[in-house]
Every structure is written in structure tokens, then in C-alpha cells.
Amino acid sequence: MFQIKAIHSPSVVASALLTISIVVMMSTSIILFESVPHIPILFSILLLLGYGFFKKISFKNLEKGLVEGAGAGMSAVFLFFFIGILISSWMMSGTIPTLIYAGFHLITPAFFFAIVFVVTSIVGISIGSSLTTVATIGVAFIGMADVLELSLPLAAGAIVSGAFFGDKMSPLSDTTNLASSIVGVDLFTHIRNMGWTTIPAFLLSLLLFGILSPSVSGGEFTKITLFQETLLKTELVHWYTIIPLFVLFALSMKKVPALVTLAISSAVAIGLSYFHHQYGVSEVMGILFKGFVSSTGVEEVDVLLSRGGMNSMMFTVGLVLLALSMGGLLFTLGIVQRLLATIEALLKKVSSVILASALTAISINVLIGEQYLSILLTGQAFRKPYEKVGLANKNLSRVMEDAGTVVNPLVPWSVCGIFIADVLGVSPLAYLPFAFFCLLSPILTIGYGYVGKTLTRVN
């Protein structure tokens, strides 16, 4: 994206007005009218095209900017397709159900909040979706906390922290794949590099949840038992089903490209599925495209397990292509370059560049309320400033997640904030002080920028 040449040099006022108009259009549509982000992005593209026509720029040049912008995301698009296939194949093989079943075994009355945090982290990594984690086992945990007369905001904070830890660190997560691909960093290199901020944030959060966990003698744990019994009845829970996970880890450690790693792990998972279920070839093809469908009769379990498939990625693929096309126009019209030039004098130090990129990701979450755009726009705008101060792109992809992905649930009017408040019955403002992981991640990433630790320089 940063290689797109500007064919116009707008004034600072025009650049600011266009940016503000896009932010208002996006935030109003998403927050007030509860629109999916695709529609306001499309309107924003039309606004930018209109500005280009007003400045007598040919449609051919504007169209070139759109195409070049969208082209920057094609590697992400292919990764998303293979992620969809991986999720459905891991459901078929029993890899994900087995991981979830093992996680439920950790639940005990002692250290309730700490264990909720750990289990939601495990499930989040297993399925790669924070909102699905919240809407399934998160609902079960909030119900337990209510029965045990424990703090619901604290329980919600533990659920949200664990779910977004899993979303951030899972190779199945669309935000993780997006953050790495948008700046050209290998998926597993990105995940390993995030460990510098994510592991300390996880351990500190675990300690805080452990300290705040009250001593309870027992409670209503029947829902967890029901989940476990239902998972066993699916006949998907077996020791050998974790082999695809080990294959994924082994190939990633050998630095095999992410797309090849995902394909091989998926193939292994499909092969293992025949040990407990004889799928027909057409049935396998259908599951890989449409996703795995669970029919246990227990709604919460079915929601948790009915996932994956190439088709499930179409929403994200459409959003990525539209957002990147808009970004291509912003660069073609010189709007991003003009805004960055106004603060360029402040972006000469490593610490200031990291701080500015983190605040940009946070601001997009607050102003627009959209998680994907906070990643996309921050990655597009700051790739060149990072290069100028000699920082490798994986530093930027880490900041995009630390200050973008995990901040969205803390904003009451954001997509994640509204969803979580609805399913858990706890407002984001109530659980915000207890979402320790989400609060610590941006603090640590900005702090590392100032102390100069864990940063990778360009060779």
C-alpha cells in the first residue's frame, strides 16, 4: 500500500475534512444505525471518487488506486480461505472439540476468575474467534458467577480477557492473519513476536484474577458437565485428534510458509477424521466450503462447533478488499501522505512512531468502533514511518494487535462492545476495569517502545 504513488497533493484542510467526513460516516452508520462496515466503506469510496472528479482526476487513475489498494490484500484473502478450511477440517477431525473438552476439565470452584480466564483463552485459541467464545462458554461462565453471587463485571472481564487473548494469538483468527499479511509478515513470525507483550500481559492478568478470586465451596457447575458429556457424545474427542495441532506447531517452528502449513495441517486433520467417521468425498468438499455443522441438540455446543469453511470467510474477505480499496484511494489522492507530513517532525524517534501508531489504532476503535479498520488503516498509514526509523514490519503488526484487536471490546459503542454487552448482560464500562489483558497489552507495547526492548531492527 505504501508503494502507491500520490497523483494529487491536497491541502491539509481538505485532507482533514475528508478524513473527518469518512470517520463521521463510518461511526454513524456502525454505531447509530448498526450497519455492517461494508456499506459505509462503499459510501466513503464514492465520496473519495467524487472528490477526485471535482479535482479533474481521470477515473482511470482513480480506478488504478482502487485496484492497487485491493491488490495489497490478496495474500490475506488466500490465507483467509485456508483458515476457513482449517477450522472445518479441525472440527471434522475432533481437534477443536478435544481442546475445548480438555479446557473444561480445569474448571473448579477455587480460583474461579483465574480459571475462567485460562479456559476462555484455551477455547479462544482453539476456535480463533473471541465473539464465539464469549457467546458460548462465556454465557455459561457468567451464569455460574450469577448463581455463585460473584461479581458479574469481574467475571465478564475475565471472559473478555481470555477470549481476546485467544483471538489475538490463534493462527485461526482472522484479525491475526490480517495484521500479519497487511504489512507482509509471516503469520507465525508475527505470533511469536507478539509473545513479548502477550505473555507478560497474560501472566499479570492471571495473577490479578487469582488474587481477586474469592473462596467458594461449590456451585452450579452442571452446565460445564453438560458441555463435557455432549462433547463426548459427538465421538469427536480422542487423544489422536491433537496431531494436526502438533503438525501446525512443528511446521511453524521450521518457518514453513503459513499457507503451506495450514494446507498440510488441514490435510492431516481430514485423514484423521476417518478414524471415527466415514465421510464421503462430496461430504468432505461440502464441509470444507460451507463449514462443519454440529447437531448435538444442545444449542450452546452446536453454536460452538458449527464453524469454518471457505464461505465463512466471505464477510471478512469482502471487508478487507473494500477497506484496502478505500486505502488505495486515500494514498492515490495523497490524503494519507499529507496528514502524515503534518506530524512527520514528531515521528523521528522509535518511541514516537510506536506511540503514534498505537494511538491511531486506539482512536479508530473509539471513533469508528470497528476492529478490522483499526488494523487495516494503521498498517497502511505507518508502514513507511516504521521503515524510516529502522523498525522491522513485525513491530508494526504487533502494535496493530496490541492497540487495535484487543481494545475494541472496551469501547461501549464498538462492534465487539455492543455484542458482548448484549450476550453477557454486562456493559463494557462495567467490565472495562477488569479486562486486564485488554488494558495491559497497549500499555506494554507503548512501554517497550520507550525502553527500546523486544524491538527488531531492519538489517
Look at 251-260, 354-363, 442-451 and tell me which has the smallest mean pLDDT.
251-260
Look at 31-40, 59-68, 85-94, 157-166 and tell me which has the smallest mean pLDDT.
31-40
> φ, ψ for residue 179 (rounded to 5)?
-60, -40
Please tell me the number of Cα atoms within 13 Å of 448 on its side-chain side: 25
Q: How far apart are CA 57 and CA 334, in angstroms?
A: 12
The Cβ of residue 214 has, within 10 Å, a number of other Cβ atoms equal to 14
Q: How far apart are CA 203 and CA 195, in angstroms?
A: 11
In a domain, 353, yes or no: no
In a domain, 97, yes or no: yes
> Can you give the residue range of the structural domain that contains 162?
75-313
In a domain, 28, yes or no: no
- CA trace torsion 240, 241, 244, 245 (10° rounding): -100
Look up residue 239 and give its DSSP letter.
G
In a domain, 148, yes or no: yes
In a domain, 436, yes or no: no
Single-letter code of the amino acid located at 343: I
Look up residue 401 and give its DSSP letter.
I
Question: Residue 58: left if φ>0, alpha if ψ -120 to 50, beta else—which one?
Answer: beta
In a domain, 66, yes or no: no
**35 exposure class (CB count in 10 Å sphere: 0-12, 13-18, 19+):** middle
In a domain, 180, yes or no: yes
In a domain, 39, yes or no: no
Spatial contact of 114 and 141, defined as CB atoms under 8 Å apart? no
Q: How far apart are CA 84 and CA 440, in angstroms?
A: 30
Q: How much is the mean pLDDT over the chain? A: 86
Q: How far apart are CA 146 and CA 148, in angstroms?
A: 5
Q: Given pLDDT bands bounded at 50, 70 and 90, which one contains residue 199?
A: very high
Look at 106-110, 175-179, 375-379, 406-410 and tell me which has the smallest mean pLDDT.
106-110
**What is the Cα 397 distance to its own chain's centre?**
12
Q: Which three cell numbers stand for residue 320?
A: 478487507
DSSP assignment of 55-80, as one string? TT--HHHHHHHHHHHHHTTHHHHHHH
pLDDT at residue number 1: 47
Domain count across the chain: 1
Q: Read off the pTM.
A: 0.73
| pLDDT exceeds 90 at position 191 | yes
pLDDT in tens, 227-273: 888 889 998 999 999 898 888 878 867 777 778 888 998 999 999 99
Q: Which three cell numbers stand for residue 292?
A: 462443519
